[in-house]
Amino acid sequence: MAKYRFHKIAAIAVLIGTAAWVATGEFSSVGSAASEEAKPAASAAAETAAAPVRTVAVIDAPRITHSRAIRVSGYTDADKRATLATRAAGIVEEVPVKLGSRVEAGALVVKLEAEGKQAAVDTARQLLAQREAELAAAERLAQSGSLPKLQLDTARSALAAAKSQLEAALADLARIELRAPFAGVVDKLDAELGSSLPQGAQVATILNLDPVLAKGEVSERDLAHIQTGNEASVRLVNGQEVEGQVRYISRDATPATRTYRVEVAIPNPQGAIPAGMTAEITLRAEPVEATVLPRSVVTLSAEGDLGVRVVDASNKVVFYPIDIVDDTPKGLVLGGIPADVRIIVAGQELISEGDIVNPVEADPETIKKLAGEATGGTN
């Protein structure tokens, strides 16, 4: 009976121990640990098998020398502009020019009545002649010792006063004449024969339109790309296109817009281009080496930068940020792309920087399609 009880008790103890071991779950961790260690290797193998080397179409970077085009809105203006105003009050006696006529530098535009000014000049001249004669007589007497030195000094002072009086009379007479300060066109004429004009009244405006100026303002970013002497083209609102050169670049920004004034001088010998006409100014910067590509080739990097993806010598994908030099009908003119890389033109959206790819030359159909896109075609 005691023996039976011992085996029964032993069986119950083994049963309880087994249940406790099962409850701890240690038996399952043996296989789990092995499987966890195998997961990274299996995942890497799976990823390698799931990510085959992609084939992309590439072209060699076409290189050109191109001048950056900076387009700004502006207007035409005269090279010189002068508003003539009366320097004395008076009655208009003569207007020898007509509105729109061309005048040379120094030409008479308006003349007022002299009103005794000429008589004052004649009187001053006579007085000057008298004082010169008196001084000459006084000098002769002084040399013979018959005239005190004080009287000789008085004669000299009288001569100087007579000269000043004549100069003042001549200046007062000159105020009745208004003359052109430079060669140009009479653009405004507000003087009529016989009309009375006060001092300071504006009577005429003279414009010099050769050269005519195209004025506009460039941004802070574009300022570094232009300099005086650069070529520029100007398209007028009437469709006329003319060429000129940058003559002036302001170094003081307009406070409200932070832009800088630019002047382009355009030859205008016949005066055919008027002042005040709306114009589109295209400034040409110094030529730089660039690449022409269709817009579809441009993409974004993971950081959101605009650029292109290329394949280097080891068939690795590299991203290059671009500088848009110009936007032409033939495509985007881009700077910042090295000359010894192959540009991905198909499949660039399916790859990332650092990927190894299988580059193949773009087929003629792809190149034709890209060319049609760049020129605005529908191939």
What is the arithmetic mean of pLDDT over 12-22?
A: 66
The domain of 118 spans 88-203
Quick: pLDDT tens for 29-67: 444 444 555 455 555 444 544 557 778 788 877 788 887
Which of 287, 321, 338 terminates a domain? The answer is 287
If you average pLDDT over each of 22-26, 213-217, 334-338, which comes out highest?
213-217
Which of 244, 266, 287 terminates a domain? The answer is 287
Question: CA-CA distance, 284 to 47, in Å (whole number)?
Answer: 52
Quick: pLDDT tens for 239-290: 999 999 999 999 999 889 899 999 999 999 888 899 999 999 999 877 878 8
**Domain count of the chain?**
3
How are beta strands 108-112 and 241-249 bridged, if at all?
unpaired
The answer, yes or no, to whether residue 351 has pLDDT greater than 90, is: no
Which of 143, 176, 203 terminates a domain? The answer is 203
> Do 151 and 104 share a structural domain?
yes
DSSP conformation letters of 209-233:
EEEEEEEEEE-HHHHTT--TT-EEE
Domain assignment present for residue 20? The answer is: no
Question: CA-CA distance, 218 to 251, in Å (whole number)?
Answer: 11
- C-alpha dihedral sign at 322, 327, 332, 333: negative
| Residues 312/318, Cβ–Cβ less than 8 Å | yes
pTM (two decimals): 0.60
| Residues 347/55, Cβ–Cβ less than 8 Å | yes
Quick: pLDDT tens for 132-168: 898 888 888 888 777 787 888 888 899 999 999 999 8
| Residues 115/253, Cβ–Cβ less than 8 Å | no
Residue 259: burial class (beta carbons within 10 Å; 0-12, 13-18, 19+): middle
Domain assignment present for residue 3? The answer is: no
> Do 362 and 303 share a structural domain?
yes
Domain assignment present for residue 47? The answer is: no
Question: CA-CA distance, 280 to 296, in Å (whole number)?
Answer: 28
